[in-house]
Every structure is written in C-alpha cells, then in structure tokens.
Structure 1
C-alpha cells in the first residue's frame, strides 16, 4: 500500500496539475506566478465555485471551455483606484510630463490596467497639462472582464470621495467631479477622457513588446510574479521604451536585481520612477568614476 503524503504536498501536486491544465488546454501560463499568491487565489477559486479540491477545479477547467474565463478572472487581481499613491501622480505631473511635452506625439503604455482607474487618471493629468490631444494611452490587461469594465468607465459612487482626495493630493487643478457624472449609486467618467485611450488584451507572461512608448506604468503587478517572470517583464518594458523614456513601478517593486537596471537612471527611488538610457556623463580618474558637473569638469 502506497505511503500517505502530507496534505500540503498533495495540494502542491494538485496545483501543479492545475497550472499544467491551463497551459496545455488554453495556452495560459501561470507557472511563473509567485507561489504563495497563486495558491491563495486558486484556493479561493475552489471555494467560490464550490469545488471540494483543486483537482475538482481542474476537472471543470478541462471539460467546461466556458469556465476558463471565470478562472482567469479569479486569478488576476483587478484592484486599483484613481490617483493611487498621490505623490507618484504628482511626480508624473511635475517631473515627467514637462519632459514628455517636447515630443510631437506621446505614447503611454499602462500595463495591468485592471478596471481602468489609473488610465483615466493619466488622461486627466495629460488634459490638465495641455497634452492630451497629442497623446495616446494603451491600457492593457489579460482579464477580459476587467477590460470590459474599464471601457465602460462606471464605478461605485462610494469611491468618489477617496479618489477626490487623491486627485487633490496629486496636484489636481480643478475638482474631480468635473470629470464625471453621478447617477444613483454610480459615477461615469466623462467620455472625452476615452478618446485617446485604447483598452486592449495583453499577457505579460507570454506576449511580446506592445508598442514604442515614452512612458510605461505597471504598478503593483510585479509583486505577484516570480523573479524570472519579473525579469522578463522588466526587459519587455525596457525594450518598449524609447531612449530617455520613463518607467513607473509600484511602491513595493523595483529594478534592483533586474538585468536591465544598468540602462536606467533613478528619477525618484522612493516613488519607483526611472528613466531609460539617460545617465549623466562621467570620467574615470584614478580608478574612480566621477560624474561630470554642469561646467563639464569632474566632481570629487
């Protein structure tokens, strides 16, 4: 009689088979997601769909093609808010947009857009900087339901008070209420904010460069990825950015251990703002690299 194995090991086998089923049946690869986050979400999926085990979840996944959409929705994390982390958006307003203003056309890629709140926040920043008419925001996610809700631009009215505070703390010049209409228990963002936003499907795990961008934002997505997948994604962002383009990550994320880190300068370490291929020139003196000062001499 085979020896029994611990429940945790059995669950890990079930999880491995679940991930294999997603890959082989639907070509969706979750193998590089952070293990603790993945098991937590798969357990929740099993509970939500009244499956007694992950194995039951896998059986439904294999034999019910329509079920995969609900699985993807459960595995992704479409959580955001308008002007989340206001100091980040203030920095974008004050430090990044004035530099992007030098381009005749501005392209922004917001990866992992969830329900669209941050994409609309960017649209408002661009509008108030007088740049929106020559800008385009590509907001992407692999969750089809999240993209549908993002295109609608309809959100619970209960969120408006927090978002209004965020907007003002981010240096807002008006009232956030100028950008939406309220009805019943919902707010709907002004349709003019949608004119230069394209919501599109893109999977950071498997897909390639999405566009050539002057600014890439991907905030609070990498924390759910394993180290190899983080590196793949950061390389993707690096390759998407024009030289001198900007990268904005979540406050718990960073470039420290990425192979592309050497090609970025730090604009604001605390706010996780970086600029690609834009380092001050330097000279080597006595084996020490010294940055140039403004008058062209080395500083020691």
Structure 2
C-alpha cells in the first residue's frame, strides 16, 4: 500500500517533471485515488510505479485523469439550475457582455447546461463561457460536445425539472449511440487548461462556477483558490460552489452575501 512518504515522492516527481502541483490536495482522498490506480495497474513496488510515471507521459496523463476527473452530469441538481435560470441570469442580462468561468469543468456537461440556459434566456450571443480544467484529456472530451446517448434520458429529466422550455433533444443530434450537441452552443465556449493550484487570474467574470472541486483541497489551498476567484469576479458578480463547499470562516467571506440556501454568493464589496 502507499504510505505518506510514497505520496510525497509522487507529488514531488510529478511537480518537478511535469509541473502539476498536487501539494495542496487533501492527502486522504488523494491517497485513496492513487492507491486505486496502483492496485488496478498491478504494481507491487512503488518505485517501479514512480519510474513509469517519470518515463511514460501517456501513463502520467492516464494517472492525472483518474486522480482529477469528477463525476458530472447535465443539469445536475435541477433546483440549483432553476435558481440560476430565475434569479441569477436575470440579474446580469442587462450587461452588454457577459463572461462566465467554469473552473474544473471536467468533461463539460455543466458547461453545455449553462449554454442552454443562456440560449433560452436570450443572452447566449452576448456571452462567452470559459471552461478550464487541469486535465487536458477531459478538456478534449468537453470540446467535442459528444456524450453517450444512453445518458440523455437522465439529462432530459434534469433539464425539465430545472424549468427547461424546449424538447431537450432539440439541442443535440443522435447518431450511433452518441449525442452531439449543436455548434451554436460550443461557439460561445473557450476551453483551456488551467491549474487552480498554481495559475493566476486571467479575466474578470460575472459568474464563476466551481462545484465540488475544492472538497479535494486542504484548507490553505481552498483559501488560495477563493482569493483567486475573488480577484477574478466583478463587483455584484456571483460565485457558485458545490454543496459541501462554503465561504464561511474564510478570508473573503465579508465581501459576499449568500443567496438563499443555495451555494451561491454575491460579491457586494
């Protein structure tokens, strides 16, 4: 099994060799994910595992994908998307140009969900969605906008529960067991690799979404990421986190007010 010394060796090797910084990740969850890969790949010697990481970039990319990929779906948590549709988007619709950042976008389902909402609210054409992730492999999947057709029923149910106004199938073309979402949605998206641990702010946004990513970070890294978001969010902009994430007891809390029970904060200072 992997011990703390092994974990630190892995973190150092990946950082020195490839520039990925996992030093601020919660060690407990990070260790569980790394052990799962270690066992699945049949390793019994950690130094052999580390050597393969250092010498095989394809294997490294596979490991990074397994460590960082999050479970996601379209219109996940429909009640949240209903609030987004009914309260948040109307609050910014008068802006001449709208910038939205999905940080830790994974394979892109939430990015396409946002584009559909913007389209139905009549503001997609003056919006741009920046979708970032540390994981280049999942970004390539997100760019394609192609998802298994078998998931569409669940996504359509979520969409209807969130207040969807159309037939969900209007947004994609089905072919050979896959659903390809229309280019009118993806034309308003910019996909880019971005590391929340080490990279800086790159624009000013009206909405920043980072749902269920920071639960894997330790407290110091959470603080750093929240300051990054604060630097990137316009006054009266909205910061949206996951169900187990909060601004309470953080250095930026005093600058925000929480909206209802949803994990949505409005920047007021």
Q: Same fold (TM over 0.5)?
A: yes
> What's the Cα RMSD here?
1.3
List 4+ stretches of structure 1 deviating above 6 A. Answer: none
Number of residue-to-residue matches in the alignment: 269
How does the TM-score come out when normalised to structure 1?
0.87
Whether 1:255 and 2:260 are equivalent positions in the alignment is no
Match of 2:258 in 1: 266
Aligned residue among 178, 187, 192 for 1:200: 192
Whether 1:235 and 2:232 are equivalent positions in the alignment is no
| 1:1-300 to 2 correspondences below 5 Å | 11-268=3-260, 270-277=261-268
Q: Flag the structure with higher helix content.
A: 2
Is contact 1:109-1:216 (8 Å) kept? yes
SS of 2:61's partner is: helix
> What is the Cα deviation at residue 165 of structure 1?
0.8
> What is the Cα deviation at residue 52 of structure 1?
1.6
Structure 1's unaligned 5+ residue stretches are 1-6, 279-300
In structure 2, distance between residues paired with 1:250 and 1:144: 22
> What is the Cα deviation at residue 144 of structure 1?
0.7
Is contact 2:69-2:138 (8 Å) kept? no
Higher relative contact order (CA 8 A, sep 6+): 2
> What is the Cα deviation at residue 54 of structure 1?
3.4
In structure 2, distance between residues paired with 1:237 and 1:50: 40
Mark the structure with the bigger radius of gyration: 1
Is contact 2:11-2:21 (8 Å) kept? yes
In structure 2, distance between residues paired with 1:53 and 1:205: 29
How does the TM-score come out when normalised to structure 2?
0.96
